[in-house]
Amino acid sequence: MAKNVVIPIGPQHPSLKEPACFTITLEGEKVVNAVVGTGYNHRGLEKACEARSYLQDIYIIERVCGICSHIHSTTFCQSVEELAGVEIPRRAAYIRTLMAELERLHSHLLWLGIAGHEVGFDTLLMYSWRDRELVLDILAMLGGNRVNYGINTLGGVRRDVTPEQIEKIRKVVDIVEERNKYYVQLALSETTLAARLGGIGKLSHDDAIKFGAVGPVSRAAEVADDIRVTDPYSAYDEVPVTAITDNHADVFGRTVVRVLEIMESVKMIRFCLDNLPDGDIAVKVPRKIPEGEAFVRTEAPRGEDAHYVRSNGTDKPDRVRVRAASEANWHGMKHMLEGDYLADVPIIIAAIDPCYSCTDRAIVLDNHDTGKQSVIDWRTLREYSINWYKARGIDTGKIKIADSHLIF
């Protein structure tokens, strides 16, 4: 009978670029238990948003995540626009869609490279990141920055797209499409890749629904869930979108979904460029937002991104809640890891395209002995922190916090 070995991975580790701690229990080479410890990147952005005006918040919200920065600011802007009862001009909606699809291109190419790196296929990393640079150039041209483009504003977008820019985008999109054909072929027919990625990190159709997986993770398990189709926003009501699904339900399936989605994005970008309506790019939004709540969902490259904004009639939000895609996908991680080999752990983790900066918030306790799981909610967490500091001679418990702040 083999003895169980516990291996802590992280928070600093070579394969992932962001800090997270995984405690993996092994029986021989097999993972029998996995505990995911996140929270290293928790910076308290939601709270920071409450202290600043809506316009300043866009700047913060963009920095929730440096990869899906545009989709976060879109979601936030949409929530505020909904509260203010403003409809953005069609041209602005198209530009937002265009940026979102360009962002998806760069995000999926980035993922493809990381996945290649995790399975020791560094050539793929170099190839796909080389192509990604072209997309970044376009994003920098449109928004002015390579990472946080800052193109969204309340009521529309800040920069227009000129005909010369459209020509440049077309050229780049052609190149990316050409190169991506190779990746599609690689993903679908390269036997080593299929052998390495197939059958690991399984998350079946039912489990994907049970754990609330989103984006490519759920679509790889034949859950046709794509907010662009089911609940169109921006210009997706006019832009033709096909939700790509696959039936492999493993890491291989997720790869296939992503490379095919690049192809879809290319088509959507072309559609946006062909049908870009004329008109204004922004409308005025009042500084003070009327009282109310808004909940908006969008499809980030990693899956569903949801923002909740509550306003109290002033120029600052009362509460902002960000629920990013990776947060939803973490819940199935334990299930995906168990039963697989230690060597597969990095690629299984990478396959959900994890992003910690948008995820880190709550603490999940997983007791291996009793098999019980418990989630620390805001109130308990607060009590815990008060006691923790009390034990060190600092009493923060005297500060009262309104019940309306405890929305979890």
Partner 1 sequence: MAKSLFEKAIDWGRRKSPWIIHFNAGACNGCDIEVVDAITPRFDVERFGLMLKGTPRHADVLVCTGAVTLQTRDRLKRIYEQMPDPKFVIAVGTCACSGGIFDGCYCVAGGIDAVIPVNVYVPGCAARPEAIIDAVVKLLTALENMQKGTPAAPVDDNVADVSALEEIENAVTEASAAAVHSDNQPADSATTGSQGGEE
Which one of residues 23, 25, 33, 56 is an interface residue with partner 1 (CB under 8 A)? 56
Which one of residues 29, 43, 47, 66 is an interface residue with ligand SF4 (CB under 6 A)? 66
Which residues from 117-146 bind partner 1, rule CB under 8 A?
125-126, 129-130, 133, 144-146
- List 292's β-bridge partners, or say none: 311
Judged by CB, which is closer to ligand SF4: 253, or 354?
354
Query: From partner 1, ligand SF4, none, which one binds at residue 163 (CB under 5 to 8 Å depending on kind)?
Result: none
* 387 binds partner 1 per the rule CB under 8 A: no
Query: From partner 1, ligand SF4, none, which one binds at residue 56 (CB under 5 to 8 Å depending on kind)?
Result: partner 1
- Which sign does the torsion angle of CA 252, 257, 259, 260 carry? positive
- Cα(352)–Cα(214) distance, integer angstroms: 9
Which one of residues 184, 243, 364, 386 is an interface residue with partner 1 (CB under 8 A)? 386
Question: What's the N-to-C CA distance of the chain in angstroms?
Answer: 44
3-state helix, strand, coil in the chain (%, to 5): 45, 15, 40
In this structure, what are the phi and psi dihedrals at residue 282, rounded to the nearest 5 degrees? -155, 150
Judged by CB, which is closer to ligand SF4: 147, or 209?
147
Show Cβ contacts of residue 136 under 8 Å, excluding neighbours closer than 6 positions.
Answer: 106, 146
| 8 A C-beta contact, residue 112 and residue 259 | yes
Closest among 38, 59, 57 to 320, alpha carbons compared = 57
CB of 103 to partner 1, least distance (A): 12
CB of 42 to ligand SF4, least distance (A): 14
Q: Which residue is nearest to ligand SF4 (CB)?
A: 63
Judged by CB, which is closer to partner 1: 206, or 377?
377
| 8 A C-beta contact, residue 295 and residue 79 | yes
Which one of residues 13, 42, 52, 63 is an interface residue with ligand SF4 (CB under 6 A)? 63
Query: From partner 1, ligand SF4, none, which one binds at residue 380 (CB under 5 to 8 Å depending on kind)?
Result: none
- Cα(5)–Cα(1) distance, integer angstroms: 12
Closest among 109, 115, 103 to 349, alpha carbons compared = 115
Which one of residues 21, 48, 147, 283 is an interface residue with ligand SF4 (CB under 6 A)? 147
Judged by CB, which is closer to ligand SF4: 66, or 339?
66
Judged by CB, which is closer to partner 1: 121, or 211?
121
SS3 24: strand
Show Cβ contacts of residue 163 under 8 Å, excluding neighbours closer than 6 positions.
Answer: none
CB of 150 to ligand SF4, least distance (A): 11
- List 365's β-bridge partners, or say none: 374
Which one of residues 7, 51, 175, 224 is an interface residue with partner 1 (CB under 8 A)? 51
| 8 A C-beta contact, residue 27 and residue 4 | yes
* 48 binds ligand SF4 per the rule CB under 6 A: no
- Sheet containing 317-323: give its strands across: 292-300, 303-311, 317-323
Contacts with partner 1, residue ranges (CB under 8 A): 11-15, 17-19, 39-45, 47-48, 50-52, 56, 59-60, 63-67, 69, 110, 113, 125-126, 129-130, 133, 144-148, 355-357, 382, 385-386, 389, 392, 394, 396-397, 399-401
Contacts with ligand SF4, residue ranges (CB under 6 A): 63, 66, 147-148
